[in-house]
Structure formats: structure tokens, C-alpha cells
């Protein structure tokens, strides 16, 4: 049994059978217990492999690693919006449809104001603009369900 280090992922594992896969080949290397104990105090995301040892990243390197992890997490969240069966995507579509409907109503009112020659003409034009629907939770669920897979 030996302690091992993956030089790519910087993962440490204690007391493994080093003669069995995957530990018997690169990128796994055998390390001493002293190295294991020392290196295991460093969080994995802040470890760097120098070619001969694990070192803790410097402050600027940690900041860069943290920023990259945040960006990757944000990208993953945004990619969920491309999943047709995702409820967040469906909810976002329902919200966008609502914004678009409000925009169309506002534009209709503004167009009616621009075209009106009198107050009576304005009232007549605005009266023809339909009200927007309102949603309770059941209506919102139904609207989201209709967007799933769309």
C-alpha cells in the first residue's frame, strides 16, 4: 500500500494498491507519507505541481484560479438555458414573453397617442388594446410546462 498523487488533477489518495490501475501508470506517482501529510493541508484547488513537488499557489495565482472557477460556474449555469427540458429555461421564456407583451402594449399605446387627433380618438384607439393576462401559481406552472421542450 502506498500514498499516491495525480500530477494532473493534484488529487492525493492515501494507502492505495499502487500496483493496480489507475495508480500503476501516469499521471499517478507514489509519494511518501510525509509528503502526503504536508500536501494534504493545501486545498486541492490551490495546489500546483512543479514537476517534482506540490506547492501552494501564490495569492495572485489563487485569485486567478478562483476567478476562473467562478467564470466556469457561470458558464455552466448559462448553458442550462440551452437545455430544452430545464424549468429555469422555460421560466425565462415565460418572463421574456411577458416583457415582450408589455413592450407591445406600451408601443400600441404610444402609437395610439401619436395617431390620435382628439381625446375621443385616443380613447377609441386605446380601448382596442387588450389587457395582459395575469398569472397565479397554477397559471405560471401551466405556462412553464407549455414551454418545456419548446
Domain boundaries of the chain, sorted by first residue: 2-56, 83-147
Residue 128: per-residue pLDDT:
83
Has this prediction a pTM greater than 0.75?
A: no
Beta-carbon neighbour count of residue 66 at 10 Å? Answer: 13
Given this model, what pLDDT does residue 57 score? 94
Report pLDDT for 61. Answer: 96
C-alpha–C-alpha distance, residues 113 and 102, integer Å? 17
Spatial separation of the C-alpha atoms in residues 79 and 68, rounded to whole Å: 16
* pLDDT at residue 148, as a whole number: 85
Give the contacts of 11 (CB within 8 A, at least 6 positions apart).
5, 44
Assess contact for 7 and 22: CB atoms under 8 A.
no
pLDDT per residue rounded down to tens, the chain (150 residues): 899 999 999 999 999 998 888 988 899 999 999 999 999 999 999 999 898 888 999 999 999 999 999 999 988 888 877 777 888 888 888 899 988 988 988 998 899 899 989 999 999 888 888 888 787 888 888 888 888 887
Query: What pLDDT is attached to residue 69?
Result: 94
Whose cell is 375621443? That residue is 120
Radius of gyration of the chain from Cα atoms? 30
Nearest partner of 13 among 25, 26, 28, judged by Cα: 28
Task: Report the pLDDT value the prediction gives residue 136, as an integer from 0 to 100.
Answer: 86
Amino acid at each position: 500500500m502506498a500514498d499516491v498523487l495525480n500530477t494532473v488533477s493534484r488529487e492525493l489518495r492515501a494507502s492505495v494498491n499502487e500496483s493496480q490501475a489507475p495508480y500503476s501508470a501516469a499521471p499517478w506517482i507514489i509519494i511518501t507519507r510525509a509528503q502526503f501529510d504536508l500536501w494534504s493541508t493545501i486545498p486541492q484547488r490551490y495546489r500546483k505541481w512543479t514537476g517534482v513537488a506540490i506547492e501552494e499557489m501564490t495569492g495572485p495565482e489563487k485569485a486567478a484560479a478562483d476567478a476562473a472557477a467562478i467564470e466556469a460556474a457561470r458558464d455552466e449555469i448559462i448553458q442550462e438555458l440551452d437545455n430544452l427540458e430545464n424549468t429555469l429555461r422555460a421560466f425565462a421564456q415565460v418572463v421574456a414573453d411577458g416583457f415582450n407583451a408589455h413592450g407591445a402594449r406600451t408601443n400600441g399605446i404610444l402609437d395610439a397617442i401619436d395617431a390620435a387627433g382628439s381625446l375621443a380618438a385616443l380613447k377609441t384607439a386605446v380601448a382596442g388594446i387588450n389587457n395582459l393576462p395575469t398569472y397565479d401559481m397554477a397559471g405560471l406552472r401551466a405556462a412553464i410546462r407549455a414551454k418545456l421542450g419548446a
